[in-house]
Amino acid sequence: MKIIVAGYPKTGTKTMTEALEKLGYVVYDHYDHFYYHGKEWNKLLTTGGTTEDFKRMYKDVDVVVDSPCYYFWQEIHQAFPDAKIILGYRDEKSWYASLRNQIGVLQRNITYSLMQTLTLTGRRLFEFRKNYITVLYGYRPQRPWGLSKSNLMIERQNYRKHNAHVIMNAPQDKLLVYDVKDGWDPLCKFLNKEIPEEPFPHKNVGGGVVAEMMKTHPLFKQMKTELYISFALLVAFGAATSYFAFTKVNFSKITQKILSC
Protein backbone atom coordinates (compact mmCIF):
# COMPACT_ATOMS: atom_id res chain seq x y z
CA MET A 1 0.00 0.00 0.00
CA LYS A 2 1.45 3.32 -1.10
CA ILE A 3 -1.45 5.77 -0.87
CA ILE A 4 -4.62 6.02 1.22
CA VAL A 5 -7.16 8.47 -0.18
CA ALA A 6 -8.98 9.56 2.98
CA GLY A 7 -11.36 12.04 1.39
CA TYR A 8 -15.14 11.68 1.61
CA PRO A 9 -17.05 10.37 -1.42
CA LYS A 10 -17.89 13.18 -3.86
CA THR A 11 -14.61 14.98 -3.25
CA GLY A 12 -13.29 13.91 -6.64
CA THR A 13 -12.67 10.26 -5.79
CA LYS A 14 -13.38 8.97 -9.32
CA THR A 15 -11.13 11.67 -10.77
CA MET A 16 -8.49 10.74 -8.22
CA THR A 17 -8.76 7.07 -9.21
CA GLU A 18 -8.24 7.93 -12.88
CA ALA A 19 -5.33 10.28 -12.15
CA LEU A 20 -3.50 7.80 -9.93
CA GLU A 21 -3.98 5.00 -12.44
CA LYS A 22 -2.44 7.24 -15.09
CA LEU A 23 0.54 7.70 -12.75
CA GLY A 24 0.99 3.93 -12.72
CA TYR A 25 -0.66 2.89 -9.47
CA VAL A 26 -2.94 -0.11 -8.91
CA VAL A 27 -6.08 1.48 -7.44
CA TYR A 28 -9.05 -0.14 -5.69
CA ASP A 29 -12.11 2.10 -5.80
CA HIS A 30 -15.57 1.67 -4.27
CA TYR A 31 -16.90 -1.23 -6.34
CA ASP A 32 -13.52 -2.95 -6.29
CA HIS A 33 -13.72 -3.16 -2.50
CA PHE A 34 -16.93 -5.16 -2.81
CA TYR A 35 -15.94 -7.19 -5.88
CA TYR A 36 -12.66 -8.42 -4.43
CA HIS A 37 -13.26 -8.19 -0.68
CA GLY A 38 -17.00 -7.98 -0.09
CA LYS A 39 -17.10 -10.88 2.37
CA GLU A 40 -14.22 -9.48 4.41
CA TRP A 41 -15.74 -6.00 4.47
CA ASN A 42 -19.11 -7.31 5.66
CA LYS A 43 -17.30 -8.96 8.56
CA LEU A 44 -15.32 -5.81 9.35
CA LEU A 45 -18.47 -3.67 9.24
CA THR A 46 -20.61 -5.96 11.39
CA THR A 47 -18.40 -7.90 13.80
CA GLY A 48 -15.08 -6.05 13.53
CA GLY A 49 -11.55 -6.93 12.48
CA THR A 50 -7.87 -6.14 12.92
CA THR A 51 -5.03 -4.51 11.02
CA GLU A 52 -4.08 -8.00 9.86
CA ASP A 53 -7.30 -8.09 7.83
CA PHE A 54 -6.28 -4.94 5.98
CA LYS A 55 -2.74 -6.24 5.44
CA ARG A 56 -4.11 -9.40 3.85
CA MET A 57 -6.78 -7.66 1.76
CA TYR A 58 -4.62 -4.90 0.31
CA LYS A 59 -1.08 -6.28 0.29
CA ASP A 60 -0.95 -6.21 -3.53
CA VAL A 61 -2.78 -2.89 -3.98
CA ASP A 62 -1.10 0.52 -4.28
CA VAL A 63 -4.06 2.81 -3.52
CA VAL A 64 -7.45 2.61 -1.81
CA VAL A 65 -10.16 5.18 -2.55
CA ASP A 66 -13.77 5.88 -1.50
CA SER A 67 -16.21 3.97 0.73
CA PRO A 68 -15.68 2.26 3.01
CA CYS A 69 -11.89 2.71 3.06
CA TYR A 70 -11.87 6.46 3.62
CA TYR A 71 -13.68 5.96 6.94
CA PHE A 72 -11.05 3.42 8.09
CA TRP A 73 -8.05 5.39 6.83
CA GLN A 74 -6.39 5.35 10.26
CA GLU A 75 -6.69 1.59 10.71
CA ILE A 76 -5.44 1.01 7.16
CA HIS A 77 -2.51 3.32 7.85
CA GLN A 78 -1.67 1.28 10.94
CA ALA A 79 -1.47 -1.75 8.64
CA PHE A 80 0.65 0.17 6.10
CA PRO A 81 2.51 2.87 8.09
CA ASP A 82 4.67 3.94 5.14
CA ALA A 83 1.66 4.87 3.01
CA LYS A 84 1.01 8.48 2.12
CA ILE A 85 -2.42 9.99 2.83
CA ILE A 86 -4.39 12.23 0.49
CA LEU A 87 -7.38 14.08 1.91
CA GLY A 88 -9.62 15.02 -1.01
CA TYR A 89 -11.46 18.22 -0.22
CA ARG A 90 -14.09 20.57 -1.67
CA ASP A 91 -16.29 23.27 -0.16
CA GLU A 92 -19.27 21.96 1.82
CA LYS A 93 -21.99 23.46 -0.33
CA SER A 94 -20.81 21.95 -3.62
CA TRP A 95 -19.88 18.68 -1.88
CA TYR A 96 -23.38 18.19 -0.44
CA ALA A 97 -25.07 19.18 -3.72
CA SER A 98 -22.93 16.62 -5.55
CA LEU A 99 -23.73 13.95 -2.94
CA ARG A 100 -27.48 14.50 -3.25
CA ASN A 101 -27.26 14.45 -7.04
CA GLN A 102 -25.34 11.15 -6.98
CA ILE A 103 -27.95 9.57 -4.70
CA GLY A 104 -30.71 10.78 -7.02
CA VAL A 105 -28.97 9.39 -10.11
CA LEU A 106 -28.59 5.99 -8.45
CA GLN A 107 -32.20 5.91 -7.32
CA ARG A 108 -33.46 6.74 -10.81
CA ASN A 109 -31.35 4.03 -12.45
CA ILE A 110 -33.88 1.22 -12.83
CA THR A 111 -31.31 -1.29 -14.08
CA TYR A 112 -29.12 -0.65 -11.04
CA SER A 113 -32.07 -1.28 -8.71
CA LEU A 114 -33.13 -4.41 -10.60
CA MET A 115 -29.60 -5.78 -10.42
CA GLN A 116 -29.61 -5.43 -6.64
CA THR A 117 -33.07 -7.01 -6.40
CA LEU A 118 -33.07 -9.87 -8.94
CA THR A 119 -29.48 -11.12 -8.96
CA LEU A 120 -27.48 -12.98 -6.32
CA THR A 121 -24.42 -10.77 -6.75
CA GLY A 122 -26.59 -7.65 -6.70
CA ARG A 123 -28.27 -8.67 -3.47
CA ARG A 124 -24.83 -9.22 -1.95
CA LEU A 125 -23.82 -5.75 -3.17
CA PHE A 126 -26.89 -4.24 -1.53
CA GLU A 127 -26.07 -6.03 1.73
CA PHE A 128 -22.55 -4.56 1.55
CA ARG A 129 -24.02 -1.11 0.88
CA LYS A 130 -26.46 -1.45 3.78
CA ASN A 131 -23.64 -2.39 6.13
CA TYR A 132 -21.32 0.48 5.25
CA ILE A 133 -24.11 3.08 5.03
CA THR A 134 -25.24 2.03 8.51
CA VAL A 135 -21.73 2.49 9.90
CA LEU A 136 -20.68 5.55 7.92
CA TYR A 137 -23.92 7.54 7.68
CA GLY A 138 -26.07 6.29 10.55
CA TYR A 139 -29.12 4.92 8.75
CA ARG A 140 -29.92 1.55 7.17
CA PRO A 141 -31.57 1.60 3.72
CA GLN A 142 -34.28 -1.03 3.27
CA ARG A 143 -34.56 -1.05 -0.54
CA PRO A 144 -32.09 -0.32 -3.37
CA TRP A 145 -34.41 2.39 -4.67
CA GLY A 146 -35.40 3.77 -1.25
CA LEU A 147 -34.86 7.41 -0.37
CA SER A 148 -31.98 8.16 1.94
CA LYS A 149 -32.57 9.81 5.29
CA SER A 150 -29.74 12.22 4.74
CA ASN A 151 -29.86 15.39 6.83
CA LEU A 152 -28.07 18.48 5.54
CA MET A 153 -26.94 19.73 8.94
CA ILE A 154 -25.79 16.30 10.18
CA GLU A 155 -24.06 15.41 6.92
CA ARG A 156 -22.12 18.66 6.88
CA GLN A 157 -21.13 18.20 10.52
CA ASN A 158 -19.87 14.69 9.77
CA TYR A 159 -17.97 16.00 6.76
CA ARG A 160 -16.24 18.66 8.88
CA LYS A 161 -15.45 16.22 11.69
CA HIS A 162 -13.93 13.69 9.31
CA ASN A 163 -11.75 16.27 7.56
CA ALA A 164 -10.62 17.78 10.87
CA HIS A 165 -9.84 14.32 12.26
CA VAL A 166 -7.64 13.46 9.29
CA ILE A 167 -5.79 16.80 9.40
CA MET A 168 -5.20 16.54 13.14
CA ASN A 169 -4.16 12.87 13.26
CA ALA A 170 -2.40 12.03 10.01
CA PRO A 171 1.41 12.36 10.02
CA GLN A 172 1.95 15.82 8.56
CA ASP A 173 4.94 14.75 6.48
CA LYS A 174 2.74 12.15 4.76
CA LEU A 175 -0.44 14.20 4.30
CA LEU A 176 -1.69 16.15 1.27
CA VAL A 177 -4.93 18.13 1.55
CA TYR A 178 -5.95 18.25 -2.07
CA ASP A 179 -8.60 19.70 -4.34
CA VAL A 180 -8.75 17.95 -7.73
CA LYS A 181 -9.30 21.39 -9.32
CA ASP A 182 -5.60 22.02 -8.63
CA GLY A 183 -4.65 19.36 -11.19
CA TRP A 184 -1.38 17.51 -11.63
CA ASP A 185 1.14 19.87 -10.04
CA PRO A 186 0.57 19.46 -6.26
CA LEU A 187 -0.33 15.79 -6.66
CA CYS A 188 2.80 14.90 -8.62
CA LYS A 189 5.05 16.94 -6.32
CA PHE A 190 3.65 15.10 -3.31
CA LEU A 191 4.15 11.70 -4.95
CA ASN A 192 7.50 12.55 -6.57
CA LYS A 193 6.10 11.78 -10.03
CA GLU A 194 6.67 13.44 -13.38
CA ILE A 195 3.68 15.48 -14.55
CA PRO A 196 1.97 13.64 -17.44
CA GLU A 197 1.68 15.44 -20.75
CA GLU A 198 -2.04 14.64 -21.01
CA PRO A 199 -4.70 16.84 -19.37
CA PHE A 200 -5.78 16.11 -15.82
CA PRO A 201 -8.88 13.83 -15.88
CA HIS A 202 -12.38 14.81 -14.83
CA LYS A 203 -14.57 11.80 -14.03
CA ASN A 204 -18.11 11.14 -12.81
CA VAL A 205 -19.52 14.31 -14.32
CA GLY A 206 -23.15 14.69 -13.24
CA GLY A 207 -23.05 11.43 -11.26
CA GLY A 208 -22.77 9.24 -14.35
CA VAL A 209 -20.27 6.81 -12.86
CA VAL A 210 -22.65 3.83 -12.65
CA ALA A 211 -23.64 4.08 -16.31
CA GLU A 212 -19.94 4.04 -17.19
CA MET A 213 -19.17 1.19 -14.78
CA MET A 214 -21.92 -0.93 -16.33
CA LYS A 215 -19.92 -0.96 -19.55
CA THR A 216 -16.49 -1.67 -18.08
CA HIS A 217 -16.40 -3.10 -14.55
CA PRO A 218 -16.42 -6.92 -14.16
CA LEU A 219 -18.86 -6.62 -11.22
CA PHE A 220 -21.52 -5.03 -13.42
CA LYS A 221 -20.86 -7.45 -16.26
CA GLN A 222 -21.45 -10.30 -13.81
CA MET A 223 -24.66 -8.73 -12.51
CA LYS A 224 -25.88 -8.10 -16.06
CA THR A 225 -25.40 -11.76 -16.94
CA GLU A 226 -27.28 -12.82 -13.80
CA LEU A 227 -30.03 -10.31 -14.58
CA TYR A 228 -30.54 -11.78 -18.07
CA ILE A 229 -30.75 -15.24 -16.52
CA SER A 230 -33.27 -14.00 -13.95
CA PHE A 231 -35.42 -12.43 -16.67
CA ALA A 232 -35.24 -15.66 -18.70
CA LEU A 233 -36.33 -17.69 -15.69
CA LEU A 234 -39.17 -15.28 -14.94
CA VAL A 235 -40.38 -15.46 -18.55
CA ALA A 236 -40.16 -19.26 -18.52
CA PHE A 237 -42.01 -19.41 -15.21
CA GLY A 238 -44.70 -17.06 -16.52
CA ALA A 239 -45.09 -19.07 -19.71
CA ALA A 240 -45.29 -22.34 -17.80
CA THR A 241 -47.83 -20.92 -15.37
CA SER A 242 -49.96 -19.59 -18.22
CA TYR A 243 -49.73 -22.90 -20.07
CA PHE A 244 -50.79 -24.96 -17.10
CA ALA A 245 -53.58 -22.52 -16.24
CA PHE A 246 -54.82 -22.62 -19.85
CA THR A 247 -54.58 -26.43 -19.93
CA LYS A 248 -56.46 -26.71 -16.66
CA VAL A 249 -59.28 -24.47 -17.92
CA ASN A 250 -59.61 -26.39 -21.18
CA PHE A 251 -59.43 -29.73 -19.37
CA SER A 252 -62.26 -28.58 -17.14
CA LYS A 253 -64.37 -27.57 -20.13
CA ILE A 254 -63.77 -30.91 -21.82
CA THR A 255 -64.65 -32.75 -18.62
CA GLN A 256 -67.87 -30.77 -18.26
CA LYS A 257 -68.89 -31.57 -21.85
CA ILE A 258 -68.26 -35.30 -21.32
CA LEU A 259 -70.27 -35.31 -18.11
CA SER A 260 -73.14 -33.42 -19.76
CA CYS A 261 -73.50 -35.98 -22.52
Size (the chain), residues: 261
177 secondary structure, DSSP code: E
In the prediction, which pLDDT does 103 show? 81
- Lowest model confidence (mean pLDDT) among 13-27, 101-115, 214-228, 246-260: 246-260
d(CA 62, CA 19): 13
The kind and range of the H/E element at 208 are none
What would the DSSP string read from start to end of 89-125?
Answer: ---HHHHHHHHHHHHHHHHH-HHHHHHHHHSHHHHHH
Domains of the chain: total: 1
The kind and range of the H/E element at 86 are strand 84-88
Sign for the CA dihedral angle at 175, 177, 181, 185 comes to negative
Q: Give buried/exposed letters for 52-65 (b at 16+ CB in 10 A, else e).
A: ebbeebbeebbbbb
Average pLDDT over residues 56-84: 97
Is residue 38 scored above 90 in pLDDT?
yes
Is residue 181 scored above 60 in pLDDT?
yes
Mean pLDDT of the chain: 88
Is residue 255 scored above 60 in pLDDT?
no
Is residue 230 scored above 90 in pLDDT?
no
Q: Pick 206 or 157 by higher pLDDT.
A: 157
Q: What is the CATH number of the domain that holds 188?
A: 3.40.50.300
Average pLDDT over residues 217-222: 91
In the prediction, which pLDDT does 244 show? 66
In the prediction, which pLDDT does 258 show? 53
3-state secondary structure of 175: strand
Is residue 54 scored above 90 in pLDDT?
yes
Q: Pick 53 or 141 by higher pLDDT.
A: 53
Domain span at residue 129?
Answer: 3-257
User: For residue range 117-138, what is the model confidence (pLDDT) as tens digits?
Assistant: 899 999 999 999 999 988 988 7
